[in-house]
Amino acid sequence: MFAAVPLMLVPLAFYNLVMIGFWGGGIAAFSDTVMSVAMLSGALWTLSLGDVLVLVALVVLFIEVLKATRSGRGSLLNHMLSMLVFIVFLVEFLLVRNAATPIFFMLMIIAFIDVVAGFAISNRAAARDVSIGL
């Protein structure tokens, strides 16, 4: 049953927690530097909290695509819940002022790719499972 839970809930929940001030200064906290590395070229490479959130969402997307290759009872429920998570992303992006940021938009697009890829991969896998006897 846990496999049916869409993992894109994690970035959505984290963004909302930061947005309401759980992390600190609201959405301004997404520009906080998490890590800085001096490169050999002399440039300073920085990683912000928003960048980390997008990276986490991409890892979650990879796991969701792997989950879509399975066929079973929970896969249809997973696809429906993933669609619901994308709808929450879309509604929040359109209606909540602090969600109208490039970071949230990228998270919403990742959720959309999760939905489309999940349905496409499941459909393709289901077509291979069907055998027509002659």
| pLDDT 10s digits, 114-128 | 999 988 887 776 655
What's the predicted TM-score (pTM) here? Answer: 0.86
Burial environment of residue 66 by CB neighbours within 10 A (0 to 12, 13 to 18, 19 or more): exposed
Name the average pLDDT for the chain: 88
> Considering only CA atoms, which of 126, 124, 116, 12 is closest in space to residue 60?
12
**Range of lowest pLDDT (30-34, 37-41, 115-119, 120-124):** 120-124
Beta bridge partners of 33: 48
Q: 94 versus 73: which is more confidently predicted?
A: 94
| Stretch 11-23: mean pLDDT | 90
Kindly indicate the confidence band of residue 112, based on its pLDDT and cuts at 50, 70 and 90.
Answer: very high
Strands (E), 24-101: 33-38, 44-48
> Considering only CA atoms, which of 3, 23, 13, 4 is closest in space to residue 107?
13
Percent above pLDDT 90 for the chain: 62
> Considering only CA atoms, which of 120, 131, 111, 16 is closest in space to residue 57?
111
Q: Domain coordinates of the chain in residue numbers?
A: 2-129
| Stretch 31-41: mean pLDDT | 93
> Considering only CA atoms, which of 7, 47, 8, 49 is closest in space to residue 26?
49
Query: What is the structure's pLDDT at 131?
Result: 58
Query: What is the structure's pLDDT at 113?
Result: 96
Query: What is the structure's pLDDT at 129?
Result: 56
φ/ψ region of 42 (left if φ > 0, alpha if ψ in -120 to 50, else beta) reads: left
Kindly indicate the confidence band of residue 111, based on its pLDDT and cuts at 50, 70 and 90.
Answer: very high
